[in-house]
Structure 1
């Protein structure tokens, strides 16, 4: 079912009506109310250029077949935006949350809203990024996600007063393909992925800290997730593309402190993605904490799979964030 961008995110009833599989309308409506955002923040003053399919419509799908559990995703993003989910008792810190979805979808619930709900309880205000997707068709598909992530960090800082935030204490947390954007922000936050458009672009895009969760980050076919090169480059990567777009090959002393989570039995994104980034961070003397779980597979997020480490990694992240002084 196709919905407008604003109807998709702003209206619980519109959310509830979107491609519901095996769930009563009342159940979906209740979940949609619980996840209803407080605000929608446009990333760009005008629609970004470079779409190969102008006029595409944002679409939402329900992927869950389990009664009482919702796992929605969206694509067809021509005008990226953030969903503001402020903490009830904010401590001045914030996290940009970047869902995954194989560069084809934004899984905005188990890798978005549900994560924000837990971080909100710790006083951390959250912003879920609905970003342009490489597989939706763009002239420079590798750049669109990183550009949206950079812009999101800058817009949050530009509006820090509005959201009662300390602009210095804004981190980023992302999953899978969203982990690619997260690791790119951690390592290439100063790269020129787009030309400045307004005063918000005077702010830094460097995150206070970064938390890539089962991240796609290496584009070297020896270690990479199989879908990364076709999505970003349309085919096998060249040596120059491997060098430019693998965050582990771009770690400098300016990289952000990093918290990594991966499952050893991940059969989609090899655990080597996290291990290689960890090794590069250690070599550059960047603070890094790594948690490798024996079981969990891929895409567990929060509430994603029975028996996954989703109940374990978020408290570990909060401890890391507190140690790094994201919040007291």
Structure 2
């Protein structure tokens, strides 16, 4: 989608698709009148010391402010050396939690559009939110194909380990991911018990299985023409084998233990074809797992919660929340 807030996320991700490499995102000076909106909440580091497979020279955090409006932020983040969970707590808690996973083609994190803004509407409904700042696999980490999954598994276990601190029911924790973050949400929903890092403390004895998974305009398949090439190549490498690409495709990993899945995408998504969502939907049906899919004719890609009311896909948050209530995750 293109708007007046700066270069569109579709254009940035399109560049990733063309190059198959992470975009170089450099910070810029704030324009006159542009004030960064403050967000506050506890921050939970995922790993004591360096994260697994750290390169000799750690990536340097960079932030690009993509918004030209003083009313809101639209930050794109690279250089995640110290992955973390950023906690956003509601005034009223219904006991549920959601781990939010921003997208960005595995080349950057769309922090506000698919993190902070999602936390706002969820906390208004009593949901405690944890925004996952995960490592980008193309920034020099060893075992790149499982780097994001390492962070997601560890994060889910830490949320359960800290459930009492935040008034959370450890059996009512969902995950909500967008685009490449949707791929990661699907990966943890299907590969939650795969050993991708060595256990380091008691938290790692807990389950990493989410109780609900939301996949919004997700990348799902990594081996067919429907994939987003930039996400695939940033995750696996440009020369990854077909075996690795199939193994990284979420729909090939669905089992009878996969939690309920909610899918949303639009037919006019010119970046990540809606066929990705259909592949996941059909895989869930084949395994007789609970799944709900909403395909809209308009919405494009990267819409987050910014769509106007006359664009059908704007209703997806209500549909996701209702689905979570039906499966006992949300109560408010």
Q: 88, 113, 119: which one pairs with 1:85?
A: 88
Q: CA RMSD in A?
A: 1.8
Q: Is the 8 A contact 1:21 1:64 kept in 2?
A: no
Do residues 229 (structure 1) and 238 (structure 2) align? no
Q: Secondary structure at the match of 1:83?
A: strand
Q: 245, 261, 265: which one pairs with 1:258?
A: 261
- Structure 2 CA distance, aligned partners of 1:62 and 1:306? 26
Q: 303, 309, 314: which one pairs with 1:311?
A: 314
Indicate the residue corresponding to 2:293 in structure 1. Answer: 290
For 1:41-120, what aligned pairs fall within 5 Å after superposition? 41-52=44-55, 54-120=57-123
Task: Answer with 224-233 or 201-210: which moved more.
Answer: 224-233
User: Which segments of 5 or more consecutive residues in structure 2 lack a partner in the other structure?
Assistant: 1-26
Indicate the residue corresponding to 1:40 in structure 2. Answer: 43
Indicate the residue corresponding to 2:5 in structure 1. Answer: none
Q: 1:290 to 1:299 in 2, by over 3 A?
A: same
Shift, 1:19, TM fit: 3.0
**Cα deviations by residue, 1:148-175 (Å, 9 ceiling, x for unpaired):** 0111100000000000111111110000
Indicate the residue corresponding to 1:174 in structure 2. Answer: 177
Shift, 1:20, TM fit: 5.0
Q: Is the 8 A contact 1:22 1:67 kept in 2?
A: no
Q: 1:157 to 1:170 in 2, by over 3 A?
A: same
* Alignment length (residue pairs): 305
Do residues 212 (structure 1) and 215 (structure 2) align? yes
Q: Is the 8 A contact 1:174 1:181 kept in 2?
A: yes
- Structure 2 CA distance, aligned partners of 1:310 and 1:62? 26
Shift, 1:200, TM fit: 0.4
**Cα deviations by residue, 1:126-159 (Å, 9 ceiling, x for unpaired):** 0000000122222221111011011110000000
Larger RCO (alpha carbons 8 Å, 6+ apart): 2
Q: Secondary structure at the match of 1:117?
A: helix
Indicate the residue corresponding to 2:327 in structure 1. Answer: 324
Shift, 1:306, TM fit: 8.9
- Structure 2 CA distance, aligned partners of 1:278 and 1:173? 16
Shift, 1:181, TM fit: 0.8
- Structure 1 CA distance, aligned partners of 2:307 and 2:31? 17
Task: Answer with 197-206 or 303-312: which moved more.
Answer: 303-312
Tell me the TM-score normalised to structure 1 length.
0.88
Shift, 1:235, TM fit: 1.6
Tell me the TM-score normalised to structure 2 length.
0.87
- Structure 1 CA distance, aligned partners of 2:239 and 2:273? 18
Shift, 1:242, TM fit: 2.6
Shift, 1:307, TM fit: 6.1
Indicate the residue corresponding to 1:164 in structure 2. Answer: 167
Q: Is the 8 A contact 2:190 2:254 kept in 1?
A: yes
